[in-house]
Structure 1
Amino acid sequence: MIIPLGMYNTYYQEELAFLRELGREFAAAHPAIAHMLEARGADPDVERLLEGVAFLTGRIRQKLDDEIPELFQSMMSLLWPHYLRPVPSTGILQFQPMADQLSGVITIPRGTEVESIPVDGTPCRFRTAYDVDAAPIALAEAALDLPMAADAQLRIVLRTAGKMSFAQMNLRRVRLYLADEVVRASTLYLYLMRYARHVELRDPRTRRHVRLPADAIRPGGFARDEAILPYPPHSFDGYRLLQEYFTCPAKFYFIDFTGLERASPLELSDRLEIVVPFSRRPPDEFRVETDSLRLFCTPIVNLFKHAADGIRVDHTRTQYRVRPGTSGNPPEHYEIYSIDRVIGLVQGEAARRDYPPLYAFQHVGGAGEDGIYHQTRLYDAVVGEGTDTYVSFVSADDKFVVPPTETISIDLTCTNRNLASRLKVGDVHVPTSSSPEFARFRNITPITRSLRPPLGRGLHWRLISHLSLNYLSLMSVEALRGILELYNYQAIYDRQAARENILRLEGLVALEAKPVERLLRGAPVRGLSIRLEMNEDNFAGEGDMYVFATVLNEFFAL
């Protein structure tokens, strides 16, 4: 029986109370059987019968109130599958390269897996979201100079951590994570991205320098290959940016200094100074310290490949619960993020049968050998927080069938539910088979909690909101707020985050859009110029408002 107990209990109690009240009225009208119905518990068999009827009718009421969730889940799984997936725990990880094991710049690829210490006996596995260019360098100093008679400037000093010089290293880019608290980090982000006059690469010994334009400073975290959440190719990337902003805003606090290869004429030895003068003076109380910036950082997300327990196919059910293999760990330590592949096995046969998803764009001609597809359903977890996943097998006309295979094997992508949110700073430091041998690592931020997808009531309205989305529908600030609220999952579970994000949305004062034409590579291109008015009082500061506006700018541009 697939019943979300928290929601279902209300329906069950209401139906049971109604049956008992009706029983008393019936008993008053028929005195001959009053002894069986008028007093609660007078006949245990009647009590069990009433409870059973209340259980079944409560389930029917719940499905009616949910407006046939199977239909809307099917449409969402085809058009916006990300909306039916939990948001896994995230954090920021820093690698610490061992200089004596590096002979230059080595890239630690995105998708590298790392593990935490065990939590209740289960280690949490994460994968990295960004490529990290590890090099034998360290951050020696970072400071904000505020002279009275000249431009304020940010000064960053890098030093080599091994025997190599900068001239030998062929360093092209340095990525920095703005590791301060939100107000200071966002303010520094604002000044680097908006008020930088230029970038100077200096040799501290000779004071010789090379000047780079301001656009040598670039924001990190917006590219598709820097996504934290794995969206399907046909999903709109703008939604991903919104969802990542509301669940892991720290991923946008990354800055790239590019064009460092142009410092080669300086013949640098063991030190490189990066100076950024600003066209606007920061507040006198604003400070930047060495710990405000971190090298070799990347967001991490609690996602990993996993196998489900085998499913024995029989003729008694149309839906089968998909259970991640636990290897002896408690089952509530795992939650399914996505079903990646469904394979059928027959005892004594080497051949395998693939069962593709029913609701997919490659549906036509994409069925398995037997013309059978699989489809999934999500329900709020019966035990604990999270979601439970069920799979069924259907024909092309959406009728339930029994596959000819005896055992079903399912490849999954999983999370550790809320287990990872119990980790502290420094707890993610256990190597895996894909971790680099030349670098240690640890998480430098707390791990966020996992968020359940908003199933149940209101799913059909969210579907309609997505179906109606286009550039014209977003030409009012009310419509923009409505779309942003769809991806503010945190508001459901965290009251403090809900208040902060509600303030942000209320800080969107007015939106104005007008058609424009621009020449792009010699050809006229039509588009929209969007002017968004925001109220700084609704944000943690001007920098916080600027980061939010930067994400919205990318959302509109995609």
Structure 2
Amino acid sequence: MGNSKEDKKRNFNDYYQDELFFLREMGKEFAESHPALAHYILEAGSDPDVERLLEGFAFLTGRIRQKLDDELPELTHTVMSMLCPHYLRPIPAMSIIEFEPQRTLRGKYPVPKIKTEVESSPVSNTKCRFRTCYDFDLLPLSVEDVILEGQQLRILFKVLNGVQLPALGLDKIRLNLHGEPVIQYELYNMLCRYVQRLSVRVTGQSDQEVVLDRKNIRPVGFDESEAVLPYPSNSFVGYRVLQEYFTFPDKFMFIDITGMENANKLAIQDAFEIVFQFSKRPLDSLRVSKDSIHINCTPVINLFSRSSEPIRVDKERTEYRIRPEGPNSNHYEVYSVDRVFGLVPGTAQQYEYNPFYSFGHRLSERGNIYYQTFLRDSVISENTTETYISFIDADQSTVSPTTEIISAELTCINRQLTEQLRLGDIRIPTSNSPEVARFRNITNVTPTIHTQLGGSLHWKLISHLTLNRLSIATKSALQGVLSLYNFQSLSNRGSAMENEKRINSIVNVNSIQTDRLYKGAPIRGTQIQVEIQENQFVGDGDMYLFCSVLNEFLSLYSMINSFTQLVVKGAGSGEVLTWPMRIGKQAIL
């Protein structure tokens, strides 16, 4: 839930205006009361030089007041950058794009994540750049129709460009569930929980059919290889699952149908269908159409590599602002500093600097000089940040590198430009885009979200430090950590309230220590029982996805050589959902 103090956080312009008002109004009153001490202030309105001085003083004192109100930001930022660096980073804009195969596509075309980049239509003369987040194969297929009849769902596919299905080497098809949330969640619920029989057949010919195992249905988005947000190595990846769920749940609206190589046994020419037979009838509200399921889709995120403007070292300065290079530099914001190196003027010699909070101490080529970065609220763009860099020695004393030029390799975002993008605006290819397909975004672009850098950050740091494997299995602790990652409270109050309802649906949490056999050996683990109020969700699918995210988070929180098992009970219906036992991934320190 949003903090009221944080929600009303003041930007630098507020401090500047306050100080300027105080100097002009209260300064005038002070001068009238004490003319012998400050009679020149009375002349401020008629003397432009005095006005200029007042504005300069207002700028400096405003900055001091802002820093005081931030309550020792350097200390908090330093500890956060060591323990939870992901929490200081902005959450970039995200969307789902769909590729439309062209006639030149006559086979599977690998689309690697991160390396594949696309751009938007220009916003203020700048194209916003995105990169893909999932590895997938672009297929010469199209969805011709989606038909729901009773307890049977049929997805009709067409093979394009005269390609023969056996020659395609098809092993899986990735489905993207599209449309209103109530449709998405119900489809997700039915496909993940209630498929009784799964088959592939020649369109319209039930006797030409291959039956697949229900295990060939795989929800996408939980594996570490399917991360959308890049996480630093010293961040706990379980938090990433929560962060992505609360800010971009569309990333989970993908289902893989594997085992498609078995369809090669069929005499498929140019059309086939996948048939799902459900064990129960879907809700009457589930109205599907051709637009309900898409293929050749992937999440994209507004992240891209960029170099910084060269920084000339000045021994009189202790910190430097890092500016991304190029025109319209204010359209770019630093997401992360990936590498810092120095160049001696007149030579080609390059020196690498290690971050102070790393394991590279005393390995730097520049002796014992390290760099550290910190954030400040931007004074030129509201709700954004600027990144600064300083250089220190092993004792954390500020030092100045030898006379040289400093450069940095950055990962950047397009500040708030992405908020002006609409459906279909992400459609401009780059040199790293597939040449065999057109593309466009089929979902709205999410807003960029910045962590508030004020005093409430201290309490969030303390909350992170108090979490541990035992305390997380209580209602208050579980709701507390979930609320920490409800970042929508900083940008979208409607979405934040929906997330709050989901978090507050947790009625009770109980943990039971138990022993199980794993590969012939006994291991100790925890069964976590969660009672949930179902009416706080859009539907059963919404609740099922929420619980699946909880299951992933709790399993990642579990220690190596231990396990967790999530059991969820509906407070209203009494229905019990049990997830398989999960072996922990965290090392025991």
Q: Secondary structure at the match of 2:195?
A: coil
State whether structure 2 residue 372 is matched by structure 1 residue 397: no
Q: Which amino acid in structure 2 is aligned with residue 83 of structure 1? A: Y
- Tell me the SS of whatever aligns to 2:122: strand
After TM superposition, the structure 1 stretch with the greater mean CA deviation from structure 2, 317-326 or 33-42, is 33-42
Q: When the two structures are superposed, what TM-score results if normalisation uses the length of structure 2?
A: 0.86
Q: Secondary structure at the match of 2:316?
A: coil
Query: Kindly tell me: are residues 32 and 341 of structure 1, through their superposed partners in 2, closer, same or farther at Cα, counting changes over 3 Å?
Result: closer
Which residue of structure 1 aligns with residue 183 of structure 2? Answer: 184
- Note if contact 1:129-1:301 (Cα within 8 Å) is conserved in structure 2: yes
For 2:354, what is the secondary structure of its paired residue? coil
- Aligned match of 2:137: 133
SS of residue matched to 2:110: strand
Q: Give the structure 2 partner of residue 197 of structure 1.
A: 196
Aligned ranges 1:223-242 → 2 under 5 Å: 223-242=223-242
Q: CA offset at residue 50 of structure 1?
A: 8.0
Residue in structure 1 matching 2:12, options 5, 13, 30: 5
Deviation of 1:17 after TM superposition, in Å, equals 9.4
Q: 1:265, CA displacement in angstroms?
A: 2.8
Amino acid at match of 1:142: V
Q: Residue type of the partner of 1:75?
A: V
Partner of 2:587: none
Question: Per-residue deviation at 1:312?
Answer: 1.1
CA distance in 2, matches of 1:459, 1:417: 21
Correspondence for 2:568: none
Deviations 1:256-281 (A, max 9, x none): 10111123333433222211111121
Does structure 2 conserve the Cα–Cα contact (< 8 Å) formed by 1:88 and 1:450? yes
Query: Which digits, 9 at most, give the CA deviation of each residue in 1:275-331, with x for residues without a partner?
Result: 1111121122322211100000000001100011111111221111111113x3x33
Contact 1:518–1:525 (8 Å) recurs in 2: yes
Out of 412, 415, 418, which is 1:417 matched to? 415
Match of 1:377 in 2: 374
The residue type paired with residue 189 of structure 1 is Y
1:464 to 462, 465, 479: 462
Partner in structure 2 of residue 297 of structure 1? 297
Q: Give the TM-score taking structure 1 as reference length.
A: 0.90
Post-superposition CA distance 1:6-29 (Å, at most 9, x none)? 4634874797599759948xx86x
- Residues 268 and 524 from structure 1, CA distance in 2 versus in 1: closer, same or farther, beyond 3 angstroms? farther
SS at 1:123 equivalent: coil
Alignment of 1:309-388 (within 5 A): 309-326=309-326, 328=327, 330-360=328-358, 362-385=359-382, 386-388=384-386
Q: Where does residue 284 of structure 2 map in the other structure?
A: 284
CA shift digits 1:321-352 (9 cap, x unpaired): 111113x3x33211110111111111122210
| CA 1:271–1:482: 2 relative to 1, 3 Å | same
Which whole-Å CA distance do the structure 2 matches of 1:231 and 1:182 have between them? Answer: 28
1:373 Cα offset (Å)? 0.9
1:12/1:527 CA distance change after superposition, 3 Å: farther
Aligned residues: 543
1:98 aligns with 2:102: yes
Q: Deviations over 1:362-382 (max 9, x none)?
A: 133333323211111101110
Q: Which amino acid in the other structure matches residue 143 of structure 1?
A: I
SS in 2 for 1:114: strand
Name the structure 2 match of 1:149: none
Distance, in Å, in 1 between the alignment partners of 2:529 and 2:385 is 40
Of residues 391-400 and 6-15 in structure 1, the stretch that sits farther from structure 2 once superposed is 6-15
Q: Deviations over 1:417-465 (max 9, x none)?
A: 1112211211211111111111111111121111112212111211111
Give, in angstroms, the shift of residue 129 of structure 1. Answer: 0.4
Pick closer, same or farther for the CA change 1:49–1:288 going to 2, 3 Å.
closer
Percent identity among equivalent residues? 46
* 1:102-251 to 2 correspondences below 5 Å: 102=106, 104-111=107-114, 112-146=116-150, 152-204=151-203, 205=205, 207-251=207-251
Distance 2:479 2:18 in 1: 33
Q: Secondary structure at the match of 2:268?
A: coil
AA partner of residue 513 (structure 1) = S
- The 8 Å contact of residues 16 and 59 in structure 2, kept in 1 or not, is answered as no
- Which stretch of structure 1 is more off in the superposition, 430-439 or 363-372? 363-372
Taking a change above 3 Å as real, the CA distance of residues 167 and 471 of structure 1, as seen in their structure-2 partners, is: same
Q: Structure 1's 105 and 56: CA in aligned 2 closer, same or farther, altered over 3 A?
A: closer
CA shift at 1:41, angstroms?
A: 5.4
Give the structure 1 partner of residue 481 of structure 2. 483
Which AA in structure 2 matches 1:532?
V
Which deviates more from structure 2 when the two are superposed, residues 230-239 or residues 373-382? 230-239
| Bigger Cα displacement from structure 2, 378-387 vs 498-507 | 498-507
What are the residue-to-residue correspondences of 1:59-98 with 2, within 5 Å?
Answer: 59-98=63-102
Contact between 1:99 and 1:137, CA under 8 Å: does it hold in 2?
A: no
Matched, 1:529 2:527: yes
- Displacement of 1:74: 1.2
Q: For residue 36 of structure 2, what is the aligned residue in structure 1?
A: 33
In the other structure, the counterpart of 2:518 is 520
Return 5+ residue gaps in structure 1 as ranges. 147-151
Distance verdict in 2 for CA 1:137–1:515, change over 3 Å: same
AA of the residue aligned to 1:165 = Q
Which range moved further: 509-518 or 107-116? 509-518
Q: Deviations over 1:170-218 (max 9, x none)?
A: 2110001001111110110011111111311223336232222222111
Q: Distance in 2 between matches of 1:12 and 1:475?
A: 49
Q: Is the 8 A contact 2:16 2:58 kept in 1?
A: no
SS in 2 for 1:140: strand
Shift of 1:523: 1.7
Distance 1:225 1:188, change over 3 A: same
User: What secondary structure is seen at the aligned counterpart in 1 of 2:240?
Assistant: helix
Q: Distance in 1 between matches of 2:267 and 2:156?
A: 16
Residues 460-482 of structure 1: CA deviation (Å, up to 9, x unaligned): 21111111111222122222222
SS in 2 for 1:281: coil
In structure 2, what is the Cα distance between the partners aligned to 1:56 and 1:434? Answer: 45
Contact 1:19 1:50 (8 Å CA) reproduced: no
1:425-504 correspondence runs (5 A): 425-504=423-502
Partner of 1:538: 536
Distance 1:129 1:90 in 2: 10
8 Å contact kept, 1:222–1:241: yes
Deviates more, 1:375-384 or 1:444-453: 444-453
Q: 1:237 to 1:35 in 2, by over 3 A?
A: closer
- Cα distance in structure 2, aligned partners of 1:37 and 1:98: 75
* Greater displacement, 212-221 / 32-41: 32-41
Q: Secondary structure at the match of 2:503?
A: helix
Q: Distance in 1 between matches of 2:537 and 2:23?
A: 49
Confirm whether residue 557 of structure 1 aligns to residue 555 of structure 2: yes
Q: Is the 8 A contact 2:20 2:55 kept in 1?
A: no
